[in-house]
Amino acid sequence: MFEALQQHPEAAYAYSQFKFGWKTIKSQAFDAERLKQVNYIDTTSLIRCTALSSAPWDIFLKRFQDWGLWLSLFRKKPNGYFCSRSVI
């Protein structure tokens, strides 16, 4: 994911599908409209410090904090980058 961010400076973060034991946690290529409807990005992502420092945190969210973060990042620097190779 580090290499993906180096190669894609327009992306605020990189994410991937991954394996957790016997289960594969699937994801998909970045799609802003889909992200507004459903959280398909997992918390095992790599976020640029510069993007994270400019995204406001909603400390009052009781659920879906990760989705709230992705949407906040989307408002500041709209692109995420999907690494199609699974991270194990």
**Is it the case that residue 87 has pLDDT exceeding 60?**
no
Beta pairing, strands 23-25 & 46-47:
unpaired
Segment 15-30 mean pLDDT: 78
Radius of gyration (C-alpha) of the chain in whole angstroms: 13
pLDDT at 5: 92
**Could you count the other beta carbons within 10 Å of the beta carbon of residue 77?**
17
pTM: 0.75
At 72, phi and psi to the nearest 5?
-65, -45
Condensed to tens digits (0 to 9), the pLDDT of residues 24-69 reads 777 788 888 998 998 888 878 899 988 877 667 777 888 888 888 8
Q: How far is 82 from 68, CA to CA, in rounded Å?
A: 18
Q: How many domains, in total, are found in the chain?
A: 1
Beta pairing, strands 11-20 & 79-87:
parallel
